[in-house]
A and B are shown apart, each in its own frame.
Chain A
Amino acid sequence: MLEAIELTKTYGDHTVLDRLSLHVGPGEIYCLLGANGAGKTTTINLFLDFIPRSSGTARIHGMDVAEHSLETKRHLAYIPEQVNLYGNLSGLENLSYLSRLGGRTDLGTDDLLEFLSRVGLTVDTAGRPVRTYSKGMRQKVGIAAAIAKRAGVLLLDEPTSGLDPKSSNEFSELLLMLRAEGVAILMATHDLFRAKETGTRVGIMKHGRLVASLDTSEVGHTDLERIYLEHMHD
């Protein structure tokens, strides 16, 4: 599970994230919505400890990410808009490298192939260099890495943007599978449709602040769009 308490990030006078508080428990998918520059990616980067926070706390499994930078990373997986892998290595090799770095040195090739097949990559594909992969296939390797690592937390930064509808749908299926396994998922996205379909909760951000937080079961598709646009208006 992951939580943010009064999490703030400023660059000089400019506040990019303003006292964000949220909580994502096991089996929850929290979708962050908002315009470009609203602070979604900053939130994800703070959870990854890629940038230092200005004040507040970000916790993963109850541990402060700034104080336990390495420890918290044992429990999380990160899938950005573009899962960037080494083009000259095969999908299997990339997965093996990432999971070894993640501490899973016990996994054999068969285990890794098994994870890849769970996300829909055949043995044949797994052996090909990643530079031949489509964007959707790379995202799947990212999910496989999360599975291999047994990550309890998944941080997603606009993972479906630029994916064709079929790939996007496959990706959502995988997320639902992970959710069912009790993974806590935080996803920044522009895709209102996917947010409603897969998310358990939706947060709307504006100018670095969380201006609304809704339970998806409480709103319909059209309602979500209306609420979102209302918040964006002024």
Chain B
Amino acid sequence: MVFEIARKEFLDLLRDGRLRWCGAIIAALLLAATLVGWRSWREVSAERAAAQTEANRHFDEQEEKNPHAAAHYGLYVFKQKPSLSFLDPGVDPYTGVSIHLEAHRRNEAKDRPVRDSTAIQRFGELTAAVVLQVLLPLLVVFLVFPVIAAEREQGTLRLLMSLGVSPRSIVLGKLIGVTAALGLIVVPAAALGMLVLLAGGFHSERAWPHAPILGVAYSLYLGMFVVVSMAVSARCKSSRHALIILMALWIMNTTIAPRFATDLSRRLLPTPSSLEFQSSIGTELKAGIDGHHVGDERLERLKSELLAKHRVDTVEELPINFEGVALQASEDFGNEVHDRHRGRLEKTLGRQDTLRKALGILFPTLAIRELSMALAGTDNDHARDFADAAESHRRKLVRELNRDLEVNGAGLGFMYQAGPDLWRSMPRFRHRPQELPEILTRQTLGWVSLVTWFAAGIVLLNGATHSMRVD
């Protein structure tokens, strides 16, 4: 019985010309978006990898100079493209991709790709993620809104029930039929995604556990739309009414909620302007140790401590290079100031993220957006992780260079010079993206939202099935 209904529903949907067109358009867009995403991934990741190699070479091939001068010259590090970013580029275009690591200061990531874009960038990009998050749910709404409501309108529901078909089998049959029709788009798309992933030249070991989990998340999301739409169709008197309710739900989720969340979190949790932020750091730094001016009180204290420790009278007699110690002390102080300010800012930004994730409980599209970006490695957290990794590398690099000055440059002051051997012995920048468990725990709210909505949809549908009216 259920199978018969499913078959009828499936064939009905396939015969509907409008839906065939919608489905074809969406499938074509999904295909195009995936291929465009893959192509740009290939170009960008090749470029970034090459850029990192060249930046390393720049650093290694410096002439003989004081290690601190090398620290000022610094090193550029570039954010590498994660494999799944071809499906969901997320915030990647909106975050800086390169960071200049140099002595004394923590630089912001720069070269946001979006800086060079036209006004239509504001309409968003065509990515596989957008098709899956926005367009496919609309197709689901279009497919599902009439399945029960229209039968009620036409009186065929009355007919079916008079034949002794239980509401349960009707709903179940239709659910299977609709899902099968949707599968005609989703399954080939998933297969294509898999194919691209396997043959596209990715570091597949980083994509492997993520991709199937991403698939689960999207299945939950789309499944939620199917179940909720079905429940609405079962409850509504007319199919027009069902369509209006579902369209409203879709618009709220995909169009209004994201921007609403943006401005809400900006208002509730404001961030300082860049100018304020930098100038408050600058003021604090100025008040503290400055390695270049040996008149500072704290520096004097450091000096007398060292002299006492080594039981000598002048800096020149020290078995180490005092400049190296002083520079590192200034570095440590600067880091502390930066950490404090940066920590405050990051806390605010993190709260904004949490607010958005919390709103995801109300609007599942917000939840899937965050989940998808997190699994693709293109969310705020990943951008922040990259910046943090770069910063800790900067500290390590500067410390090692200062240390070399301190240990090997005894008695030479700033006259000490080191060569390429030292540059080449410096640690390499390697950024390992987050591990899966961490990604998943950071996105707990997203999973809660999707599962809750899915479950609520089933409960709703169940309720509607039990109390189904014939007209």
In their complex, do chains A and B touch, with some C-beta pair under 8 Å? no
